[in-house]
Amino acid sequence: MMVRIFKHYVPGQVIFLALADILILFSAMYLGVQLRFLIGDTYGLEDVLPIWPKASSYATVLFLIMSAMGLYERELIDGRWEYYARFMMSLVLGLIAMIAIFYLFPQLFLGRGAFALTMLFSVLGVILARGVFLRVINHDILRQRIMILGTGSRASTVHSVLQRHHLSRKFYVVGYLPLGSSQNSVDSPRILKRDGSILAMATKYQVDEIVVALRERRGGNLPMEELLECKLEGINVVDLSSFFERETGHVQIDSLNPSWMVFSDGFCRTSARNLVKRIFDVGTSLLLLAATLPVFVITAILIVIESGMPIFYRQVRVGECGRPFPVLKFRSMRTDAERDGVPQWAKKGDARVTRVGKVIRKLRIDELPQLFNVLRGDMSFVGPRPERPFFVRELEKQIPYYANRHTVKPGITGWAQVRYPYGASVEDAREKLQYDLYYAKNHSLFLDIIILLQTAQVVILGKGAR
């Protein structure tokens, strides 16, 4: 089950797991304090009362850190060792954060004994909850049974997309039902033999959802009356593009058609939304500038020591509505990186990158000067990555709908940046466009906050840097 929160789809299982973790973290402090004063003297108990402000701050901090470390991503929920490694890292970061909070806000201080027991109960509770959760969520009875209408090229992508996005445990494809005269692009064993109406087939195979994957729907190819009959019987009917958007967090270009973009909700830009986003951009940028001022100074000094001036690198990028603007970054390459004047994709292990450049790219420090672009209004804090005009012209020729990513302001970080590795080819640009279109369609303050949390994970773990 997917829950739509401010237009962004969130798996119901993730929401349940997050709420369970918050409750466990909150309760762990009560248990820790109770046990601490139960086994020892009660002197000092009045100093930690009331407990709920301390428990609330502790649960909030730990939950945000766990979210930033990606512990609620579908890829990690299956209980791999990486989850436990990140969980332990979250506890270390949480311990450091709580020590800082105790120092800044003495009224939230908790004794060492009670806090140690709180951390112990947190570890045991979260691991136990995750084990129970995995036993329940991986049960076959919870898998949704879906039937695909169509056997053409659009339908043939379903299996590979489900595999790539770790959705095979959530869905079971009972088969593909041929309709109309479309050619078969699906393996024959997966094609269902038509035996009665669509409702009869859905009932026979105990289908929970029907996914319509027909490219050509005119001339009676799409039996609307039969689909309405299924809908009225409680079987969900969804278009393939909407199905992919809901389950993968991106807009699948291969299954896309202009009519879906016109009639689906999204791609809205209201004055209120623009004002909220601008306030969020300016506030976040000023806070980050204040917090990273020492990083600015140290980075500038190291760049000058290694390769001299200039410190900053200005480059023309394409912004909202296709308008060009100069983006500002710390220089991470040699000054003669493009001496022949021909733009080049950044490659893995690029020889043009300096030693300081490798570090600041890995930590995303080279992007910090773009905060000034945000304050000027050229960029937003969150949005599609701004690309160079040369590449934009080439990509618009090769990738359909590429120009649509410019309907929103580009950003320092974005949905594509946190969901897909660094792009260095046309195919990468195509994959990232699918996430950019999802963001352009469904962007909200809620989604921006999720992206910021996931950006922290990218920075801490150094994912995707080149």
Give the distance from CA 301 to its chain's centroid: 34
The mean per-residue pLDDT over the stretch 372-378 comes to: 94
Rounded Cα distance between 287 and 302, Å, is 24
Rounded Cα distance between 110 and 12, Å, is 34
Averaged pLDDT score across all residues of the chain: 85
The mean per-residue pLDDT over the stretch 387-400 comes to: 90
Q: What is the dihedral of CA 403, 370, 248, 183, to 10 degrees?
A: 20
Rounded Cα distance between 368 and 374, Å, is 10
Count the Cβ atoms, other than its own, within 10 Å of residue 445.
14
Closest CA to 380 of 458, 451, 294: 451
Rounded Cα distance between 225 and 208, Å, is 18
Rounded Cα distance between 423 and 267, Å, is 24
Does residue 410 register a pLDDT over 90?
yes
Rounded Cα distance between 406 and 196, Å, is 47
Count the residues in the chain: 466
| Per-residue tokens: 215 | 């490219």
The region of weakest confidence among 197-201, 285-289, 347-351, 417-421 is 347-351
Residue range 119-161, pLDDT digits in tens: 999 999 998 988 888 778 767 777 889 999 988 888 888 888 8
Instruction: Tell me whether strands 324-330 and 312-318 are parallel, antiparallel or unpaired.
Output: antiparallel
Q: Which residue has the higher pLDDT, 101 or 218?
A: 101
The maximal CA–CA distance of the chain, rounded, in angstroms, is 83
Does residue 435 register a pLDDT over 90?
yes
pLDDT at 181: 62
- The shares of helix, strand and coil residues in the chain, as percent rounded to the nearest 5, are 55, 10, 30
pLDDT at 297: 93
Closest CA to 389 of 305, 319, 296: 319
Beta strands in 1-138 (DSSP E): 2-5, 8-11
Residue range 206-243, pLDDT digits in tens: 999 999 988 777 666 788 899 999 999 999 999 999 99
Does residue 14 register a pLDDT over 90?
no
Q: Which residue has the higher pLDDT, 247 or 109?
A: 247
Does residue 466 register a pLDDT over 60?
no
Give me the amino acid identity at 356. Answer: V
Which domains does the chain carry? 2-137 (no CATH), 143-250+259-263 (3.40.50.720), 271-334+349-461 (no CATH)
- Residue 285: pLDDT band (50, 70, 90) is very high
pLDDT at 211: 94
pLDDT at 219: 60
pLDDT at 428: 86
Does residue 463 register a pLDDT over 70?
no
Rounded Cα distance between 293 and 192, Å, is 63
Angle at 448 between CA 445 and CA 450, to 5 degrees: 115
- Residue 11: pLDDT band (50, 70, 90) is confident
Question: Could you give the C-alpha distances from 12 to 5, 170, 461, in angstroms and in order?
Answer: 11, 12, 27
Does residue 5 register a pLDDT over 60?
yes
The region of weakest confidence among 152-156, 415-419, 460-464 is 460-464
Please report which helix (H) or strand (E) contains residue 343, including its range: none
